[in-house]
Structure 1
Amino acid sequence: MMRITLSGYYGFNNAGDDAVCESIIAALAKEMPEADLTLLSNAPADSRARFGVEAVNRWQVRGVLGALLKSDLLISGGGSLLQDVTSKRGFIYYLAVIALARLCRVPVLVYSQGVGPLTDGLNRRLTAAVLNRTQAITVRDRTSRLLLKEMGVRVPVLIAADPVLAYEGTGGRPVRTLLAQAGIYEADKLVICAPRPWQGVDRVKAFSEGLDVLARQGYKVALLPMQPEADMALCQAIAGHMTERAYVLEGDYPLNELFSLMKAADLVIAMRLHALIIGAVCDCALLGLPYDPKVTAFMQRVGGGELLPLEKMTPSSLADGAQAALAKGACAPKRVATLKGLAHLPAALAKKIIKGRQ
């Protein structure tokens, strides 16, 4: 039996990180059907029900230590765990789990992470010291690799791709049902917008008036709160301030249903990274609103869509950017296919590490 512990931003009801988790589980199951997985989760019972694997409370040292002592490998990732902009506490937590695993002599694989920004010199030195004790590091973009090398990480760093790009799940409720639950009964032309609050700036006017332009052109406009606790109020405010009809997708969607929704869309407008990633796989036109370098890095790597910096976002620039993205169309299929292939690499590497240990 192969035993693997997964450490990430799991159990926080964030659709993007849940998508990462489900994609990693699926990739590992494909490589190692016999593997026994344990998540370090903020909500273990919910994670067991959602992902069908064992889970322990990430905040209880005894449970974390117990999982690690039984493991053949710790996987740290994916997502943006090693950054000190949105959460310094989280950054220290993920480094501490890696350090604890190495104290227990458990190998560590950093799995398709987006590293940075790291603004503090001490945080950079801590990151290098801890990661230099890992067995393998894979990142999801070139910028992360350059940052690690700049900080003094000596372990070879491989550029893979976000785990969600490798997801191949199907099923779930029909898309007609998902849309009907939000009040959308005809969606020949559909725009999905996934905003998020950022830096305390009120962007309701820019979103609502810009999306009104698209609605007047015949598009159904659906707002998707990827992390409801953070995004729902903003999505509802945008819909409420629009003069045209807009819809809020308030359901709890597993990853296969998020894919179904995106496949029905012509255009994805998003601050949230994984809305853009799923949109790229589903052949949507993309308008990325980068609140974080990871959004820009993905859009550049996928080679398609449009980027609109937040500081330049106005109702007219949002509407113009949307039109430019629609005119450009879906991302290049060869680029997407290449990234899908790279997204499988870390799971194969996990198997190699475990086999080498046995």
Structure 2
Amino acid sequence: MRGPTGLTIGVLGSYGGRNLGDEAILTGLLADLREQEPNARIIVFSRNPAHTALAHPDVEAVPWEGVSRVDSAEVLAQLDLLILGGGGILYDKEARRYLRVVRVAQERGLPLLTYAVGVGPLTDGVDTGMVRETLAGATEVTVRDQESRMVLEEAGLLNPITVTADPAFLLEPEDFPARLLREEGVPAGKRLVGLSVREPGRAAERLDVDGYHRLLAQIGDFLVQRIDAHVLFVPMERDDIRHSHGVLSHMIAADRGRILHGDYSPRQVLGLMKHFDLAVGMRLHFLIFAAMVGTPFLPLPYAGKVFDLAQRLGVPALRGVEREVEGPLLAEVDRLWDERDSRREATARRVAEVCDQARGTSQVTRAVLDGLRSRTLARMAA
């Protein structure tokens, strides 16, 4: 229950889908809200309310997919503020689904804040128009990267846009005991490389499945030979398991590879990254986690958001996954291993800067919450 001066805040995003990146975003966002507004009643609009309620027992979780305007309006009528984001949810064919709920909220005069949201690709006329018109009525617009700001500006949004960083940068790691690695079949006392793959799908439509499976298998085999490593595939969502098996099936040294099978929280996976000597990956939040704990990492960009992260952190990133360019990728992996110590300090400095930028979302949110809180107290005093 909320306290006598607590606000009721709704959070809408791609939550409850068992994607560790999205769940990391929600975990960081909720921790931020609790710190700023301890007495708040928080309602999360989730794809899977049961999953969200289990992972976050201090919030209420309600469905939003397949819910009528009338039913959405009943929940929205209880809110003082609707937060959209964070994460990459405003892109072609998907933006309209989230904004349908937002429009119902705005029809009721509910304030809207976008929380380090990710935007793009955005080329469809319907989605572009909805994003422009809906966010024009937002109290504050914050995005997680420069690319998202550019997409919104090209869509015609005239509001001030604040660039912050992904809410996952707000997380603190949870210990991942070595015994869990043993239970996952990873031998003790060996160098360990983390590898992250993903499915093609709308976010990575240009990926040729068999081609990139073979390419990543070559990277895995190279690291086994180059540094005498074992490789642990880290699925960030369910379908990554299948693609990890696909890569592993092409490895010559398949006996040196394992796939993480346990059900772990974002904070646990963040703690797991400390066990890796090196990380090579496609998934954005796998790379964010590696950066946060100081593990040397190489991004394999399939989308602008991954390339943007590499640029912000000052690390090399080759677009060879889409083009199946083996030589440059293996050379960059080799260079990363040789230069890992010399790069560490510069990367840590960049990571600290991005963490500060992530806390910038909190500053924007705090100003909005302070205004709402003052108006609530004024109504109660009247």
Normalising to structure 2: TM-score of the pair? 0.87
Which of residues 349, 352, 358 in structure 1 aligns to 2:364?
349
Q: CA deviation at 1:170?
A: 3.1
Q: Does 1:112 align with 2:112?
A: no
- AA aligned to 1:181 is E
Q: CA deviation at 1:188?
A: 4.1
Q: Which residue of 1 aligns with 2:243?
A: 234
Of 91, 97, 102, the match for 1:93:
97
- The aligned amino acid for 1:14 is N
1:28 matched to 2:23: no
Q: 1:157 maps to what in 2?
A: 161
Residues 42-70 of structure 1: per-residue CA shift (max 9 Å, x gap): 11111100122210012223553233211
Contact 2:196 2:281 (C-alpha < 8 Å) held by counterparts: yes
Matched, 1:71 2:76: no
Alpha-carbon distance in structure 1 between the residues aligned to 2:274 and 2:173: 13
* Superposition deviation, residue 303 in structure 1: 1.5
Which residue in the other structure is 1:45 paired with?
50
Judge conservation of contact 2:49–2:62 (CA < 8 Å) in 1: yes
Report deviation, 1:240.
2.8
- 2:82 aligned counterpart, secondary structure: strand
Q: Say whether 1:313 aligns with 2:324.
A: yes
Q: Residue in 2 aligned with 1:212?
A: 221
Q: How far apart are 1:315 and its partner, in Å?
A: 4.5
Which residue among 46, 52, 63 is the counterpart of 1:57?
Answer: 63
Structure whose CA Rg is larger: 2
Q: 2:290 aligned with 1:279, yes or no?
A: yes
Query: Equivalents in 2 of 1:113, 1:341: separation in Å?
Result: 17
Give the distance between the partners of 1:187 and 1:132, measured in 2 at CA.
55
Corresponding residue of 2:352: 337
Give the C-alpha shift of residue 102 in structure 1: 0.9
Cross-structure match for 1:11 = 16
Q: Per-residue deviation at 1:27?
A: 1.3
Structure 2 CA distance for aligned equivalents of residues 21 and 246 of structure 1: 31
Paired residue for 2:172, among 168, 173, 177? 168
- Rounded to whole Å, the distance in 2 between the matches of 1:7 and 1:129 is 18
Q: Secondary structure at the match of 1:350?
A: helix
Aligned length: 351
Structure 1 segment 118-197 matched on structure 2, within 5 A = 118-171=122-175, 174-197=176-199
Alignment-derived partner of residue 379 in structure 2: none
Residue number among 313, 325, 329 corresponding to 1:302 in the alignment:
313
Distance 2:154 2:216 in 1: 38
Query: Is residue 287–residue 308 contact of structure 1 (8 Å, CA) maintained in 2?
Result: no
What is the rounded CA distance, in whole Å, between the counterparts of 1:298 and 1:80 in structure 2? Answer: 13
Q: Report the Cα distance in structure 1 between the residues aligned to 2:270 and 2:102, rounded to whole angstroms.
A: 32
Q: CA 1:97–1:70 in structure 2 vs 1: closer, same or farther (change >3 Å)?
A: same
Letter in 2 for 1:220: H
Name 1:325's counterpart in structure 2. Answer: 336
Aligned to 1:222: 232
What do the CA deviations read for 1:69-99 (whole angstroms, capped 9, x no partner)? Answer: 1111111111111111xxx1x2211111221
Alpha-carbon spacing, 1:26–1:187, altered in 2? closer, same or farther (3 Å): farther
Distance, in Å, in 2 between the alignment partners of 1:54 and 1:180 is 36
Q: Distance in 2 between matches of 1:222 and 1:63?
A: 44
When the two chains are superposed, the root-mean-square deviation of aligned CA atoms in Å is 1.8
SS in 2 for 1:237: helix
Cα distance, 1:184 vs structure 2: 0.7
Structure 1 Cα separation of the partners of residues 190 and 37 of structure 2: 41
* Contact in 2 for aligned 1:280/1:336 (Cα 8 Å): yes
Moved more, 127-136 or 336-345: 336-345
**CA distance in structure 2 between the aligned counterparts of 1:213 and 1:156, rounded to whole angstroms:** 47
Distance, in Å, in 2 between the alignment partners of 1:180 and 1:137 is: 45
SS in 2 for 1:332: helix
Give how far 1:305 is off.
Answer: 4.3
In structure 1, the residue corresponding to 2:236 is in which secondary structure? coil
Query: Hey, what's the Cα distance between the residues in 2 that align with 1:44 and 1:187?
Result: 41
Query: Identity of aligned pairs, percent?
Result: 31
2-structure distance, mates of 1:286, 1:141: 20
CA distance in 1, matches of 2:216, 2:264: 23
- Deviation string 1:175-211 (CA, Å, 9 cap, x unpaired) is 3133122201325421111111223611221111221
CA contact (8 A) 1:80 1:114 kept: yes
Alpha-carbon spacing, 1:188–1:157, altered in 2? closer, same or farther (3 Å): same
Counterpart Cα distance in 2 of 1:130 and 1:263: 41
Structure 1 unmatched runs, 5+: none
Q: Cα distance, 1:354 vs. partner?
A: 2.7
* Residues 225 and 197 of structure 1, relative CA distance in 2, 3 Å threshold: same
Q: How far is the alpha carbon of 1:169 from its aligned partner?
A: 4.7
Residue by residue over 1:245-302, the C-alpha shift from the partner in whole angstroms, topping out at 9 and shown as x without a partner, is: 2000111110111111111112221111111111111111121111111110111012
